[in-house]
């Protein structure tokens, strides 16, 4: 008798769990559709408010605004920001490590003008003379 009641409770909890998950899924699908319609409406209103007056363009209806939004997403990308699957942080830190090694080399450039005035000009003139003798030979 107790085992039968445990099975009934288990089945009842399982069904309740699946129903609540199903309701959540349907809610989020409807919420996503509502957001998509709202974004299309906002694009349409902004376009019709700004573009005809600023640039003399024609007004858009709702579906033209949605099409324009989709076209913009196709051309300019879908965001692709840093999510849990992206390893942008690792890429950024490795990029900065590379830059730090380059930056440390620039500390020696403060001696460049002094070197050029003392040795560089002479070395360059010697190099030019060598090139001229190679070209003549």
Per-residue pLDDT reduced to its tens digit, 41-54:
999 999 999 999 99
- What pLDDT shows up at residue 114? 79
The predicted structure's pLDDT at residue 26: 96
pTM, two decimal places: 0.49
- Alpha carbons 21 and 17: distance in angstroms, whole number: 6
Instruction: Give counts: helices (H), strands (E), the chain.
Output: 5, 0
**Distance (Å, whole) CA 135 – CA 129:** 10
Arithmetic mean of pLDDT over the chain: 83
Cβ contact 60:68 at 8 Å? yes
pLDDT tens profile 59-112: 999 999 999 999 999 998 877 665 555 566 666 666 666 665 555 666 677 777
Least confident of 5-14, 77-86, 108-117: 77-86
User: What is the C-alpha separation between 70 and 77, in angstroms, rounded?
Assistant: 10
């Amino acid at each position: 008798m107790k085992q039968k009641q445990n099975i009934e409770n288990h089945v009842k909890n399982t069904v309740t769990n699946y129903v609540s998950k199903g309701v959540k899924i349907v809610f989020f699908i409807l919420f996503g559709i509502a957001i998509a319609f709202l974004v299309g409406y906002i694009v349409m209103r902004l376009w019709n408010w700004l573009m005809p007056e600023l640039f003399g363009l024609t007004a858009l209806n709702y579906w033209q605004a949605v099409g324009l939004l989709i076209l913009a997403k196709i051309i300019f990308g879908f965001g692709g920001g840093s999510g849990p699957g992206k390893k942008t942080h690792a890429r950024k830190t490795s990029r900065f490590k590379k830059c730090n090694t380059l930056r440390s080399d620039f500390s020696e450039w403060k001696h460049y003008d002094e070197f050029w005035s003392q040795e560089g000009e002479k070395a360059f003139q010697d190099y030019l003379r060598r090139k001229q003798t190679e070209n003549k030979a």
